[in-house]
Amino acid sequence: MSLLSRLFRSRSDPREALRPLWHRTVEISREPHWYAQCGVEDSVAGRFDMITATLAIVLIRMEREEELIASSVWLTELFVEDMDGQLRESGVGDMVVGKHIGRLMAVLGGRLGAYREGLAEQGDSQLAEAITRNVSLVDNTGPEKLAAALRRLEADCAAMPGTALLEGRIER
């Protein structure tokens, strides 16, 4: 192998193995029932709220298994990559994309903590509070239906083997 070919050979990106899981996470966040039955506002903000809620559920599941923790970092990087692309497509300039990404990561981190605490509680009051703070709901919609639906998603993820989760085979 020549020096040039060794220097320029492509190295495999560890995120690629998680791309199916990322796509499934986004697919779940776009399911109509979140918006039609659970009262999430069908808007850019509401869709972002559901992506972060769904991603938080998946990341919480991943942190329960030592072998999946490193992969959760790669999954988070796919979130950043996707959000970066979305910002650029919406016309945000190169000079401020980094600031926006920083804010989005802070939002994800805050929501991850809030959903982790809410899901750890037996009842839904803390989870409902987290939803009220973090999800754009249609007027006069309470967080109860969404809390129950997120608990079902969390139970679905918790029940599946880690390898199936990594492959994005979340059954609904």
Q: Domain-by-domain residue ranges, the chain?
A: 17-164
10-residue stretch averages of pLDDT, the chain, 172 residues long: 52 88 97 97 95 97 96 93 73 66 86 96 93 95 96 96 96 84
Q: What is the pLDDT of residue 17?
A: 93
DSSP-H helix ranges across the chain? 3-8, 19-29, 32-36, 44-63, 66-89, 94-120, 125-134, 144-159, 162-166
**Phi, psi angles (nearest 5°) of residue 167:** -85, 0
Structure tokens at 72: 């959760």
Cα angle for residues 25, 27, 33 (degrees, 5° grid): 110
Q: What is the pTM of this model?
A: 0.87
Measured CA to CA, the distance from residue 24 to residue 64 in angstroms comes to: 20
